[in-house]
Chains A and B, each alone.
Chain A
Amino acid sequence: MNLNFAHLHLLLNHFPIIGTIVGLALFLVSFVGNNKDLRRAAYIVFAGIALLTIPTFLSGFGAQLGIQGKPGVSDTLVARHEGSAMLALWFMFATGAFSLVALWQSHQRSRAADWVIGTVLFFSLLTTGLMARTGNTGGDIRHPEITDIQHGKIVEDPVSALVSHFEPNPEKFSELMLSNEWWWGFLMALHFMGLALIIGTVGLLDLRVMGFLKQLPVGPIHRFVPYAMAGLGVNIVTGCLAFIGQPENYIYSGAFWLKMTALLLLGLNAAVFYLTDVFEHLEKLGPGEDATMFAKLVAGSSLVLCFALVFLGRYIQPLGDTIRNASN
Chain B
Amino acid sequence: MAVPEIFNSIEQTAISRWVRYSPSIFGFYFILLCHTIGLSLLVGGNAIIAMRILGIAPGLPLKPMKQLFNLMFVGLGINITTGLLLLTGYPTKALTDYDFYVKISFITLGVITMFKIYENVFADPALTESDMIAKGKTLAKFSLVFWIAAIWAGRMLSETYTYITYGHKYAR
Binding site for B on A (CB under 8 A): 181-182, 184-186, 188-189, 191-193, 195-201, 203-204, 213, 215-217, 219-221, 223-224, 227, 287, 307, 310-311, 313-315, 317-318
Contact = CB atoms under 8 A, between A and B. Distances in A.
A204 to B, nearest CB: 6
B118 interface: no
A216 B29 contact: no
Interface in B13-66: 29, 32-33, 36-37, 39-41, 43-48, 51, 56-61, 63-65
A28 to B, nearest CB: 35
Contacts of B65: 216
A223 B59 CA distance: 9
Given A181-B172, A185-B152, 15 more contacts: A182-B159, A185-B158, A186-B152, A191-B155, A192-B36, A196-B43, A196-B44, A200-B40, A200-B45, A215-B61, A220-B57, A221-B57, A221-B60, A313-B36, A314-B29
A201 B51 CA distance: 10
Given A200-B40, A223-B57, A193 B151 contact: yes
A240 to B, nearest CB: 17
Interface residues of B, number: 37
Contact of B59 (A188, A197, A219, A313): A219
Contacts of B41: 199
A216 B60 contact: yes
Contact of A224 (B32, B57, B160): B57
Contacts of A204: 48, 68
Which 3 A-B pairs rank lowest in CB-CB distance, beginning with the nearest? Answer: A200-B44, A215-B64, A220-B59
Is chain B's binding surface mostly helix, strand, loop or mixed?
helix
Contacts of A203: 40, 44
A223 B56 contact: yes
Nearest to B42: A196
A322 B87 CA distance: 29
Contacts of B148: 193
B119 to A, nearest CB: 21
Contacts of A307: 37
Nearest to B37: A310
Interface string B158-170: 1110000000000
22 contacts: A182-B159, A185-B158, A186-B152, A189-B155, A197-B44, A197-B47, A198-B44, A199-B40, A199-B41, A199-B44, A200-B47, A204-B48, A204-B68, A213-B64, A215-B63, A216-B60, A224-B51, A224-B56, A227-B56, A314-B32, A315-B33, A318-B29
Given A192-B39, A227-B56, A314 B33 contact: yes
Contacts of B36: 192, 195, 310, 313-314
A196 B51 contact: no
B74 interface: no
A313 B51 CA distance: 27
B6 interface: no
